């Protein structure tokens, strides 16, 4: 446990890509395979279900330390994270003899069995553990117990660290880690040793991600060197047909086959050994439907006939990753596209090829892009005709040329502390627009400001707090920010009557007063753009 806590601290303390990879590689090189398996599970974003609530953790810490409530409250207000606050406050407790137990030992012999104990035994057990741990270990333990352990490292960096010690290609390691990977010594050994022919047949490939096009498209050369498609607003997925079964995976590595039976049925027409990359979309008689229609399918435990009829779906495929069991990712984009069109020529309509957007030059393509929002899409995808299918966000071969976002000037009314490295800063904000003479909450945003602006706004929030509602603080309606978002729709679940997609801060409008912010009517007018 101590080595993993030290790794966690090392990763949290640096923003250097190379330093993160070096720290992980050093850990995996030295760790036993059962420890390495659990560490890999957490580094890849795996999480345990919550054992103990944050409130209970706080009560147990008060019981052990005898500290007054007000001191814990003030400490939490400064730190912004219960697990870290408790870890810091427990420095006052006399430390006992540490228990020399590995990460796997702690997980399998101590933490996982904790769920079987009654509340009083859980309390005494956890308090005993706290006495044997240093601060870093207590913090990691608290995060594990509350289900909040998140390690600040990108998946691709973890793959690179494992590939380095395995002496193999990152694409191979990335593929082996997709799907239902379990934190066992056997699974970790197989990861390093390679497949032995009994790999999970449902396994998808690591997704290739596009980068935003930051300059004029003319810098990419001539348009003839690129395949251009619509950028769909749906759920990215891979459709896998192997051993007579169909599997549909989301980009988040969730198996979603049962949510979309039409696509599963259509996938049955594919030959074994076929893997498609594409987009799951709500699709009606007039074409693509808003993302809100797709959400009706996502949030339902039971798919009734009415839901299936109200939100029909399609899988629009735009890449072929495997054919007849052969990995095609090293083939040029144009050849993969030609093979894709051939194998989807005679399959059910729920499985369709994403159409190409033809243009004689960049100027004509820009005209297509200008009509994207009216067509229900987010812009264009530009894919190099000679490019291969890579892993993660590798710049150069796939670009997303999105339409300009919708923007609104809104007023900051609430602020909340962030998490992780920013747990002691107010970084999560709620914004409002005018509805007559009152401000109505409109959107929440967590990104867009640089470190200097975040620190400045944090100081302002602390000096101007009006009320506290748990971790949330209300502030005077004085600060105006320009927000950007990708889409807007009516919503009965929001006070404003609208919901926006992917809101973020564009800039701090110091030149504007609150009275100059947009109105709810002006925001709703964007529904028709």
Give the span between the Cα atoms of 422 and 136, in whole angstroms.
Answer: 17
Catalytic, 231? Answer yes
Nearest CA to 199 out of 183, 175, 169, 171 is that of: 175
State both tokens at 402.
């999105």
State both tokens at 274.
């076929």
Nearest CA to 313 out of 241, 206, 235, 396 is that of: 235
State both tokens at 431.
């914004």
The DSSP bridge partners found for residue 284 are 287
Give the span between the Cα atoms of 35 and 405, in whole angstroms.
Answer: 45
State both tokens at 381.
């995808």
End-to-end Cα, the chain, rounded Å: 54
Give the span between the Cα atoms of 109 and 280, in whole angstroms.
Answer: 42
CA 206 to chain centre: 15
State which H helix or E strand residue 424 sits in: none
State both tokens at 61.
């810490």
For the chain, give percent helix, strand, coil, nearest 5. Answer: 40, 25, 35
Give the span between the Cα atoms of 308 and 261, in whole angstroms.
Answer: 9
Concatenated DSSP letters for 192-233?
HH---S---TT--PPPB--EE--S-GGGG--GGGEEEEE---
Set 20, 143, 231, 402: catalytic member: 231
User: Are 211 and 398 a contacting pair, CB within 8 Å?
Assistant: yes
Residues identified as active-site: 231
């Amino acid at each position: 446990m101590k080595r993993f806590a030290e790794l966690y601290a090392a990763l949290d303390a640096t923003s250097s890509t190379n330093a993160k990879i070096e720290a992980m590689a050093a850990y995996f090189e030295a760790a036993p395979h059962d420890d390495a398996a659990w560490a890999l599970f957490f580094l890849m974003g795996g999480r345990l279900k919550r054992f103990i609530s944050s409130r209970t953790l706080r009560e147990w810490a008060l019981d052990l330390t005898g500290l007054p409530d007000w001191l814990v409250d003030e400490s939490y207000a400064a730190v912004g994270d219960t697990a870290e606050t408790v870890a810091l406050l427990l420095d006052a407790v006399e430390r006992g003899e540490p228990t020399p137990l590995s990460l796997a030992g702690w997980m399998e012999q101590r933490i996982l069995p904790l769920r079987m104990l009654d509340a009083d035994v859980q309390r005494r057990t956890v308090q005993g553990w706290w006495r044997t741990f240093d601060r870093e270990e207590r913090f990691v333990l608290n995060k594990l117990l509350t289900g909040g352990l998140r390690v600040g490292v990108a998946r691709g960096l973890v793959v690179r660290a494992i590939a380095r010690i395995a002496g193999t290609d990152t694409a191979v390691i990335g593929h082996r880690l997709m799907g239902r990977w379990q934190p066992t010594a056997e699974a970790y050994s197989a990861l390093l040793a390679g497949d032995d022919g009994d790999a999970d047949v449902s396994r998808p490939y690591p997704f290739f991600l596009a980068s935003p096009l930051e300059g004029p498209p003319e810098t990419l050369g001539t348009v003839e060197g690129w395949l251009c498609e619509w950028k769909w607003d749906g759920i990215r997925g891979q459709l896998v047909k192997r051993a007579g079964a169909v599997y549909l995976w989301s980009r988040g590595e969730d198996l979603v086959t049962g949510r979309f039976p039409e696509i599963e049925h259509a996938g049955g027409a594919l030959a074994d050994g076929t893997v498609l990359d594409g987009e799951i979309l709500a699709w009606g008689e007039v074409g693509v439907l808003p993302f809100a229609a797709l959400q009706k399918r996502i949030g339902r435990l039971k798919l009734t006939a009415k839901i299936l009829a109200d939100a029909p779906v399609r899988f629009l495929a735009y890449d072929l990753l495997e054919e007849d069991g052969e990995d095609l990712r090293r083939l040029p984009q144009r050849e993969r596209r030609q093979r894709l069109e051939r194998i989807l020529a005679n399959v059910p309509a729920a499985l369709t090829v994403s159409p190409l957007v033809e243009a004689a030059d960049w100027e004509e393509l820009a005209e297509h892009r200008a009509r994207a929002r009216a067509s229900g899409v987010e812009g264009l995808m530009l894919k190099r005709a000679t490019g291969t299918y890579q892993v993660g966000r590798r710049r150069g071969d796939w670009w997303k040329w999105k339409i300009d976002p919708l923007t609104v000037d809104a007023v900051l009314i609430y602020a909340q502390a962030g998490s992780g490295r920013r747990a002691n800063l107010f970084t999560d904000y709620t914004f409002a627009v005018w509805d007559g003479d009152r401000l109505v909450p409109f959107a929440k945003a967590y990104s867009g400001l640089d470190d200097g602006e975040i620190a400045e706004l944090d100081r302002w929030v602390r000096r101007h707090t009006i009320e506290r509602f748990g971790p949330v603080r209300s502030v005077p309606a004085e600060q105006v920010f320009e927000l950007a978002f990708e889409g807007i729709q009516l919503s009965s679940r929001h006070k404003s009557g609208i919901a926006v997609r992917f809101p973020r801060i564009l800039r701090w409008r110091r030149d504007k007063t609150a009275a100059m912010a947009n109105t709810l009517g002006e925001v709703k007018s964007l529904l028709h753009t």
